Amino acid sequence: MFTPEFYLLAQECDLAKASLLGALTAFSYMDVGQTGTMYSAFFQAAIGLERLMKLVVIVDHNVKHDLSNPTDKQLRKAGHDLVGLYETCSTLAVDNSLDTSEWFSGDVLERRMLDFLSKFAMASRYYNLDTISGSSKAADPIAVWAQLHQLIGEAYISFKSREKLNEKAIQHADALGAYGFRRWIDGQYITFVDATYMHAFLTKANPYCVWTLLRILKPFYSLLDALCSQAHAIEIGKGIDYPIIPYATEFFPFFLATLDSVKKRKDWTKIFLR
């Protein structure tokens, strides 16, 4: 019979899995004209990443302390700082002689997304209410994301494809006789043509937002595999018949998805939550 601890850790893996799959699906269907779809992606990605990385911290503690668990104080110390947790996990990858080329640092899109989600988790998730109450010190996450979303799109979508989208936007405006201005999601007013183009462009960039998140997640598969294998070796050495630590990688096969599969899939929950 499995221990209560095994079931609790398995449930935590399932929570992280469901949150991250929800985030991938939300990024796939993100509509900048409906900001609720954006918040859904941010919340689920931030929660999923935090739970995933705290699982790594727990299993690493188990390995280093004869299967004992970290205290509540130790777990709470990291808070919602995703960047700090990521740095801890990347250090563990080095300690376990894993490929460090898949861990990101510096001014790259993956690190920018991680930084954005970390700030969202720690502060800007309450931006709307805090701004209403006059207590907001964070930047508007929608405006910040709009800039990052655009950078991701420009990194993957060719200039020729973007030109075609712009031509269609001009044709659409001409057909409607719409030559005025409208408020964009960053609060600035832009022409109807530009708004039409940006909406189409960012929608086309959605799969690459999914891919950017998956590139952040991918190295966690090998890290969890290494740590869980070490924990299971300790369990065997102690004569424990039933594992205390679940095979965490079984919950996260989608971490290994390819860019081609990302382009073909929008709803990640249908295949991985059934």
pLDDT-based confidence at 60, cuts 50/70/90? very high
Residue 150 scores a pLDDT above 90: yes
What is the predicted pLDDT for the residue at 218? 98
In the chain, DSSP assigns E strands to 181-183, 189-191
Neighbouring CB atoms inside 10 A of 16's CB total 23
H or E stretch covering 125: none
Q: What is the structure's pLDDT at 241?
A: 84
Phi-psi region of 195 (alpha: psi -120 to 50; beta: other; left: phi over 0): alpha
What radius of gyration do the chain's Cα atoms show? 21
Q: For 268, which DSSP code? A: S
C-alpha 98/C-alpha 237 separation (Å) is 24
- The answer to whether the predicted template modeling score (pTM) of the entire model surpasses 0.85 is yes
3-state SS track over 139-152: CCHHHHHHHHHHHH
Q: Which residue has the higher pLDDT, 186 or 96?
A: 96
